[in-house]
Amino acid sequence: MENGTLECKSCNHEVATHREEAGMALCNICAPWVESSLRRTGEIPSWAPSFCDDRQDMFYDTRKAITKYSKIREGRGHWARGDSTSFPTTERGWAQFLEYVMGEDEQGVLTRIRCGIDTREGVIGLSNSVSAIQNHLRLADETTERLFEHSIRLDGNSIWVSGVLFGPKASEIHCQNRRILPQLIFDRYHALDARPIEEMAYLYMRGPWIPLIRETTSVRVPTSFALREEICRIADGTYGDGPADRIRAAMLLWSTAVEREFLTCPPSSWARSFQWIREISEDFSVDVEVAENGIYVTGSSKNLYRIAPTPPDGRSDRFEVSRVLNRGTDDGAADAGDEIAPICIHSMTSDEEDLERPLGDVIVNLILALRDDVQTSERIPQLYRHLPEEFQTGRRADRRNWRIRWREYRQAVHGQLGDPEQHGEPPEDRNFRAMRIAVRAARAALGELEEEE
């Protein structure tokens, strides 16, 4: 199709071209960013776009609650920092998160989960722990008939437990994984659950929520039976829409930067942010050029920079900045033949306002910062190193002045100390004091140098 016959599905610009990979009409600015985003989000669930559009406020509340639990004293050691949102790394962390998810609708859910966790932690190192059960199953042979009140019989690489076959020979998919047996036997042995072991296996392995967590996030997948079952029940809506929405929002936050992707960012916010890029590129057309492989910006230092989308397995910022050493031909290739020097500039911070900023807003900030690269380099040392030499002389002079001031300081210190006999101090103590003063001064000097660099 020819330009001008379609409207951009990303920013609503009236001039767009149908893109085969994206399967939609996109303008020249949006095309590389939308296609890159679609490659990254190929595994997010089908319900994600409509969910994100209908529950925009849910992400703010969920991210705030997760941040709170990850910072409190009880959360230490149970949470880890992700690209944009913290996530639980232990069963205790999961239990803390479900406190927020359930709210006042607890209905005994947390009591059951905590009981299972407490029991597991209480028998660590004993003969009836999960690890002990796992070791006994691993060492079982043809003579083994019972383990932890369950009948046992080996069948090649599979095993019969209380009349149910577990392993590759099992006909039921939920019974084909022998690794789940220690968790199931533990709960039955410690009277945490009395249901048949095959029913427990089905509940332990059933989807889609646990596989979704495993395949799309960095979160530690829970192993205790009660915790896994309750996560699935909450996400299914068994306890109402509120808890289900909160846990689904968390799954999306852990799997992607919601506001930075085309499918999950609210369409109106995404469109406005990329409309802003177009306005900036038109207002500063001398310094800003939109190309097939990214956006080129000429800085006040006359350096040429390129802002381009990252590959699917690239950085969490969704963009990469490079200084263009030699401009190639814009033939639509990934790097268009450019000779580049990558610059390490990040946008992800712990600031909640920054995390909620759409990708287009981030790109606009980058364009404005790189246009005034000399001023921006005072706050970003990585950018300063790429400035032409004439813009770095000020910093070098400052470093020389630091050395001069350091020598003067050393001379002043030795002059004030004078003759050790006048101070009533032995030479060893005088030398130690002088060394300690010098070390403190050096640390202060080096600290300021690091801030400048």
Last residue of a domain, one of 199, 228, 259: 259
Q: What are phi and psi of 261, to 5 degrees?
A: -120, 145
47 domain residue, yes or no: no
Task: Determine the Cα–Cα distance for residues 316 and 113; give it in Å rounded to an integer.
Answer: 33
Do 404 and 347 share a structural domain? no
Average of per-residue pLDDT across 406-423: 58
Cα separation, 425 vs 325, whole angstroms: 61
Is 102 a member of any domain?
Answer: yes
221 and 133 assigned to the same domain: yes
pTM of the model: 0.76
| Residue 44: predicted pLDDT | 87
Residue 159 in this model has a pLDDT that exceeds 70:
yes
Decide: helix, strand or coil at residue 307: strand
Helix (H) or strand (E) holding 423: none
pLDDT of residue 448: 45
- Are 184 and 250 contained in the same domain? yes
pLDDT at 112 over 90: yes
Instruction: Write out the residue range of the structural domain in which residue 220 sits.
Output: 56-259
Distance, CA of 5 to CA of 18 (rounded, Å): 10
Per-residue pLDDT tens digits for 350-397: 455 566 789 999 999 999 999 999 888 888 888 888 888 887 765 544
Least confident interval from 39-53, 177-191, 328-342, 423-437: 423-437
What mean pLDDT is reported for the chain?
84
Cβ neighbours for 244, distance < 8 A, ≥ 6 positions apart: 234, 235, 236, 237
**SS3 assignment, position 363:** helix
Q: Whose CA is closest to 92, among 73, 64, 108, 106?
A: 73
340 and 378 assigned to the same domain: yes
Residue 109 belongs to some domain of the structure: yes
Q: Do 385 and 401 sit in the same domain of this protein?
A: no
Q: Say whether both 177 and 95 belong to one domain.
A: yes
20 within domain boundaries: no
| pLDDT value of position 407 | 67
Write the CA distances from 148 to 159, 261, 283, integer angstroms.
15, 50, 75
Summarize the confidence of residues 81-102 as an average pLDDT. 89
Shared domain check, 305 and 249 = no
Structure tokens at 213: 């967590």
Residue 18 domain flag: no
Query: Is the same domain home to 274 and 229?
Result: no
Give how many domains the chain has, as a whole number: 3
Asked if the model's pLDDT at residue 185 lies above 80, the reply is yes
Provide DSSP, 26-84: E-TTHHHHHHHHHHHTTTS-TTHHHHHHH-HHHHHHHHHHHHHHHHSGGGTTTEE--SS
| pLDDT, position 150 | 94
Residue 215 lies in a domain: yes
AA identity, residue 252: L
pLDDT tens for 292-337 read 888 999 999 999 999 999 877 655 678 889 898 887 655 444 445 6
The predicted structure's pLDDT at residue 89: 92
Q: What pLDDT band is residue 3 in, cutting at 50, 70 and 90?
A: very low
Query: What residues does 298 pair with on adjacent strands?
Result: 304
Whole-number pLDDT of residue 334: 44
Alpha carbons 366 and 415: distance in angstroms, whole number = 51
Cα(356)–Cα(44) distance, rounded to whole angstroms? 19
Is 214 a domain residue?
Answer: yes
Are both 352 and 404 inside the same structural domain? no
Residues 73 and 173 in one domain: yes
Do 428 and 349 share a domain, yes or no? Answer: no
Of 130, 355, 115, 335, nearest in space to 223 by CA: 130
pLDDT band at 453 (very low <50, low <70, confident <90, very high): very low
Given a cut of 70, whether residue 418 has pLDDT beyond it is no
Q: What is the mean pLDDT of residues 97-121?
A: 89
Q: Is residue 126 part of a domain?
A: yes
Q: Which of 339, 359, 390 is the last residue of a domain?
A: 390
Under the banding of pLDDT at 50, 70 and 90, the label for residue 440 is low
**Final residue belonging to a domain, choices 336, 366, 390:** 390
Supply the DSSP symbol for 311: P
Taking residues 231-241, report their average pLDDT: 93
Place of tokens 């639509």: 332
SS3 call for 86: coil
Averaged pLDDT for residues 238-242: 92
> What pLDDT is stored for residue 350 in this prediction?
45
Same domain for 186 and 80, yes or no, is yes
